[in-house]
Amino acid sequence: MILFVRKSSVVLLGIILSLSFVLLAVTGAMAQSEKTDLFTVLVDAGHGAPDGGCVAADGTQEAPLNLAVSLKLKTALEKQGVRVLLTRADENGIHDSGESIGEKKRSDMRRRKAMRDASDAELFVSIHMNQFSQTQYHGAQVIYDTTNPEAQQVALNIQNAIRNRLDSENKRVPMAAPSTVYLMRAPKVASVIVECGFLSNEAEREKLKTDAYQQRLADAIAEGIVQYQKGHKTSGETTELVR
């Protein structure tokens, strides 16, 4: 079918289309501006297949728990208006080379560091579980990179939020990262590692395996990050992590 349209209608249609394109362009620019203005956190779920991380006496592997807490942390932060990036979103590690598990682990660590340093994130939070030969030790602890004073501050906020919301008996304080911790070597953004608890402690391990406790943990970590973001800063001391 061929339609005949009068010239005035064509002009009017052209004006309408032009205004529509302008409106779309402005809306898109505003959306992009809002996106880049958001406080951005890169959440790193430690390890990942074939590297299960530390393994508890009952066979519980660290890597799946790290992922579960990380995904809950992502949701909790997004509810607070924080933009969240992930290093991994499934059970697999992110290695890109290597035949042995050791080679894949080294490749995986290099990729995590590269992802962090290339991202536009303002904060890097790596989620892990702890383990020690003596089973009496328990309690979450935050480790921070020593090259950025902001990292110590956010670590303190997270540690305090965990104590206040989750474990009032936890007397641990943030710990400066030893030079042997690869991901904490001269990062380009403030970086912390949250050791969520000890898989070597049976009581704490059983809690860490539950969805409810993981959620409470994620909410506490998110609260510490948001407090830091908003400038609600506190003070404290650092001590060494028991390993």
Over residues 40-66, the pLDDT tens digits come to: 999 999 999 999 999 999 999 999 999
- pLDDT tops 60 at residue 100: yes
Across the range 60-81, mean pLDDT stands at 98
Which residues are bridge partners to 84 per DSSP?
A: 41
Q: Is the pLDDT of residue 233 over 90?
A: no
Please report the pLDDT score of residue 54 as a whole number. Answer: 96
Which pLDDT score, from 0 to 100, does residue 15 have? 41
Q: What local confidence, expressed as pLDDT, does residue 224 receive?
A: 98
Of the pLDDT bands very low, low, confident and very high (cuts 50, 70, 90), residue 36 is low
Q: Which amino acid is located at 124 in the chain?
A: F
Indicate if the pLDDT at residue 34 is higher than 90.
no
Q: What is the rounded average pLDDT of the residues 11-15? A: 42
Mean pLDDT, rounded, for 137-157: 96
Across the chain, mean pLDDT equals 84
Q: Domain 39-230 has what CATH class?
A: alpha beta
**What pLDDT was estimated at residue 81?**
96
Instruction: Specify whether the CB–CB gap between 216 and 140 falls below 8 A.
Output: no
Please, which residues bridge with residue 55 across strands? 61
Helices and strands counted in the chain (H then E):
6, 6
Cis check: omega of the bond before 50, within 30 degrees of 0:
yes
Residue 241 has pLDDT above 60, yes or no: no
Between CA 22 and CA 63 the distance in angstroms is: 48
| Structure token pair of residue 156 | 């303190």
Question: Given pLDDT bands bounded at 50, 70 and 90, which one contains residue 186?
Answer: confident
- pLDDT (0 to 100) of residue 78: 98
Closest by CA to 197, choosing from 145, 132, 147, 148, is: 132
